[in-house]
Amino acid sequence: MVSSQLESRGIRDERVLNAMAKIPRHLFVDEWLRDRAYSDNPLPIGERQTISQPYIVALMTEALELQGHEKVLEIGTGSGYQAAVLAELADRVCSIERIASIASRARTLIESLDYFNVLIWVGDGTYGWREEAPFDAIIVTAGAPDVPKAYKEQLAVGGRLVIPVGDRHTQVLLRYTRLSEDIDDMKEEDLGGCRFVDLIGNHGWKQ
Ligand code: SAH
């Protein structure tokens, strides 16, 4: 998976590649999908949600440019796989999931793998997580109609936000870098097309 799907497509960050080589991705999918856990596509995780394609996880994680000291916010815990990758690369991970059954499964798995730096909370992640802000990095793993203001507000100056924005079928992956105290002072970069499940919430899509 690491050489044929990630390095071959230009993922260069050694820390990202090592983390994804180490984490047992097959544990993050149901037993009947285990032999496909390392294949080049997303997979269902129940409740009509998916674990992202390995390349997309790598691309988004690399774009956060983590060094190890960061506090990261993830929106959309899902299987917990992305949270495990972040736990390897940052100091603390705060992850929000709106579906309680999905969150509790991810929490049990993350704990069983001895990641003690991940906090999973059940709720509408379109508000961010004000009590834990500011964050050095924010990663949104569901597609949004636009960027919820809370993410810009809760991003530390110098921090990076990676978010898929578009309609309910296709999105572009955007990276924002906060340049100053002014929340509109952001550098925006287009990282390419992608396709995610909906970000559903008060500042996302309606159910
Ligand atoms: N990062 C996940 C993949 C996430 S799929 C992984 O590594 O497996 C997207 C997830 O976002 C789904 O589980 C969905 O329930 C969740 N989601 C959608 N809208 C949300 C919201 N407003 N707040 C929190 N989670 C949300």
Atom 4 of ligand 1, nearest CA residue: 78
Distance (angstroms) between ligand 1 centre and the Cα of 125 equals 9
**Model pLDDT for residues 132-149, shown as the tens digit of each residue:** 999 999 999 999 999 999
* pLDDT at res. 119: 98
* pLDDT at res. 42: 97
**Model pLDDT for residues 111-135, shown as the tens digit of each residue:** 999 999 999 999 999 999 999 999 9
- Ligand 1 atom with the smallest distance to the CA of 102 is 13
* Pocket of ligand 1 contains residue 95 by CB under 6 Å: no
Distance (angstroms) between ligand 1 centre and the Cα of 70 equals 21
* Pocket of ligand 1 contains residue 54 by CB under 6 Å: no
Distance (angstroms) between ligand 1 centre and the Cα of 181 equals 29
The DSSP secondary-structure symbol of 5 reads: I
Q: Transcribe 110-123 into DSSP letters.
A: HHHTT--SEEEEES
* pLDDT at res. 7: 98
Q: Which two tokens stand for residue 193?
A: 């097309």
* Pocket of ligand 1 contains residue 135 by CB under 6 Å: no
Q: Is 147 helix (H, G, I), strand (E, B) or coil?
A: coil
Q: Cα–Cα distances in Å, from 27 out to 35, 38, 69, 167?
A: 11, 11, 27, 31
Mean pLDDT for the stretch of residues 154-183 = 98
Mean pLDDT for the stretch of residues 20-27 = 98
* pLDDT at res. 203: 98
Mean pLDDT for the stretch of residues 2-25 = 98
**Model pLDDT for residues 68-106, shown as the tens digit of each residue:** 999 999 999 999 999 999 999 999 999 999 999 999 999
Q: Give the residue, out of 41, 53, 75, 146, with the most ligand 1 atoms within 8 A of its beta carbon, to mutate for a pocket test.
A: 75
Query: Domain spans of the chain?
Result: 2-194
The domain 2-194 belongs to what CATH superfamily?
Vaccinia Virus protein VP39 (3.40.50.150)
* Pocket of ligand 1 contains residue 97 by CB under 6 Å: yes
Distance (angstroms) between ligand 1 centre and the Cα of 63 equals 19
**Model pLDDT for residues 41-66, shown as the tens digit of each residue:** 999 999 999 999 999 999 999 999 99
Reported as type and span, the H/E element at residue 73 is strand 71-75
* pLDDT at res. 131: 98
Would you name the residues annotated as active-site residues?
A: 52
* Pocket of ligand 1 contains residue 20 by CB under 6 Å: no
pTM of the model: 0.98
Please, is 1 exposed, middle or buried when counting C-beta atoms within 10 Å of its C-beta (0-12, 13-18, 19+)?
middle
* pLDDT at res. 146: 98
Distance (angstroms) between ligand 1 centre and the Cα of 12 equals 26
